Amino acid sequence: MTQTVPSSSLPVLGVPAVRQHLLDRREIALLDLREEDPYAQAHPLWAANLPLSRVELEAWRRIPRRDTLIVLYGEHEGEDLVPRGAAVLARLGYTNVHALDGGLDGWRAAGGELFRDVNVPSKAFGELVEHERHTPSLPAEEVQALLDAKADVVVLDARRFDEYQTMSIPGATSVPGAELVLRARALAPDPATRVIVNCAGRTRSIIGTQSLVNAGLPNPVAALRNGTIGWLLAGQQLDHGAQRRAPAQVDAAVAVQARADAQAVAARAGVRPLALADLPALLADAGRTTYRLDVRTPEEYEAGHLPGFASAPGGQLVQETDHHAPVRGARFVLADDDGVRAAMTGSWLAQMGWEVWRIEGATAADFRETGTPAPERPAPHREVEPIAPAALAALLQAGDAVLIDVGASANYVRRHIPGAWFAVRAQLANALAQSLPPAGQYVLTCGTSLLAAYAAADLRTLLDAQGRADVPVRLLTGGNAAWFAAGLPEEAGEARLATPRTDRYRRPYEGTDAPREAMQGYLDWEFGLVAQLGRDGTHHFTVI
DSSP letter string, 474-492: EEETTHHHHHHHTT---B-
Task: Return d(Cα 76, Cα 82) in angstroms, integer.
Answer: 10
Distance CA 360, CA 276 (A): 7
User: Coil, strand or helix: which one is 206?
Assistant: helix
| Greatest distance between any 2 Cα atoms in the chain | 76
CA distance 512 to 514: 6
Residue 13 CA: distances (Å) to CA of 59, 97, 98, 152, 388: 20, 10, 6, 58, 47
For 152, other C-beta atoms within 10 Å of its C-beta total 13
Distance CA 481, CA 462 (A): 27
Q: Could you tell me the CATH superfamily of domain 7-117? A: Rhodanese-like domain (3.40.250.10)
Round to whole Å and give the CA distance between 201 and 155. Answer: 15
Query: Please, what is the Cα angle at 28 between 27 and 30, to 5 degrees?
Result: 160
CATH (residue range 385-485): 3.40.250.10
- Is residue 136 packed enough to be buried (19+ CB in 10 Å), middle (13-18) or exposed (0-12)? middle
* Domain 275-366: homologous superfamily in CATH: Rhodanese-like domain (3.40.250.10)
Neighbouring C-beta atoms of residue 483, cutoff 10 Å:
25
The residues that bridge with 385 in the sheet, in sequence order, are 474
Q: What CATH code is assigned to 124-249?
A: 3.40.250.10
CB-count burial class (<10 Å; 0-12, 13-18, 19+) for 473: buried
Q: What is the pLDDT along the chain (544 residues), one digit of tens a residue?
A: 545 555 558 999 999 999 999 999 999 999 999 999 999 999 999 999 999 999 999 999 999 999 999 999 999 999 999 999 999 999 999 999 999 999 999 999 999 999 999 999 999 999 999 999 999 999 999 999 999 999 999 999 999 999 999 999 999 999 999 999 999 999 999 999 999 999 999 999 999 999 999 999 999 999 999 999 999 999 999 999 999 999 888 999 999 999 999 999 999 999 999 999 999 999 999 999 999 999 999 999 999 999 999 999 999 999 999 999 999 999 999 999 999 999 999 999 999 999 999 999 999 999 999 999 989 999 999 999 999 999 999 999 998 899 999 999 999 999 999 999 999 999 999 999 999 998 999 999 999 999 999 999 999 999 999 999 999 999 999 999 999 999 999 999 998 999 999 999 988 776 666 677 878 877 887 888 999 999 999 999 999 9
Distance, in Å, from the CA atom of 460 to the CA atom of 384, rounded to the nearest integer, reads: 8
Q: Which among 145, 177, 171 is positioned nearest to 239, based on CA atoms? A: 171
Q: Which residues pair with 310 in a beta bridge?
A: 293
Phi–psi pair at 130, nearest 5 degrees: -60, -40
pTM: 0.94
Residue type, 342: A
Neighbours of 540 (CB within 10 A): 14
Domain ranges of the chain: 7-117, 124-249, 275-366, 385-485
pLDDT at 2: 42
Same fold, 7-117 and 124-249: yes
User: In this structure, which amino acid lies at residue 527?
Assistant: F
Assess contact for 137 and 225: CB atoms under 8 A.
yes
Beta bridge partners of 387: 476
What are the DSSP calls for 259-322, one per residue?
A: HHHHHHHHHHHT-EEEEGGGHHHHHT-TTS-EEEEE-S-HHHHHH-B-TTPEE--HHHHHHTHH
| Structural contact between residues 73 and 39, judged by C-beta atoms closer than 8 angstroms | no
Return the beta strands (E) in 325-401 as ranges: 331-335, 355-360, 385-387
Residue pair 431/76 in contact (Cβ under 8 Å)? The answer is no
Other beta carbons within 10 angstroms of residue 458's beta carbon come to 24
- Side-chain-facing half-sphere of 516: CA atoms under 13 Å: 6
User: How many helices and strands, by DSSP H and E, does the chain display?
Assistant: 24, 22
Count the Cβ atoms, other than its own, within 10 Å of residue 267. Answer: 14
**Mind giving me the DSSP string for 419-473?**
TPEE--GGGHHHHHHHTSPP-S-EEEE-SSSHHHHHHHHHHHHHHHHTT-TTS-E
Give the three-state DSSP class for 368. coil
From the list 485, 499, 472, the residue with the least C-alpha distance to 417 is 485
Locate all alpha helices (DSSP H) within 138-245, ordered by sequence. Answer: 140-148, 161-166, 180-187, 203-214, 227-233
Decide: 395 and 401 in contact? Cβ < 8 Å. yes
CB atoms within 10 A of CB 204: 29
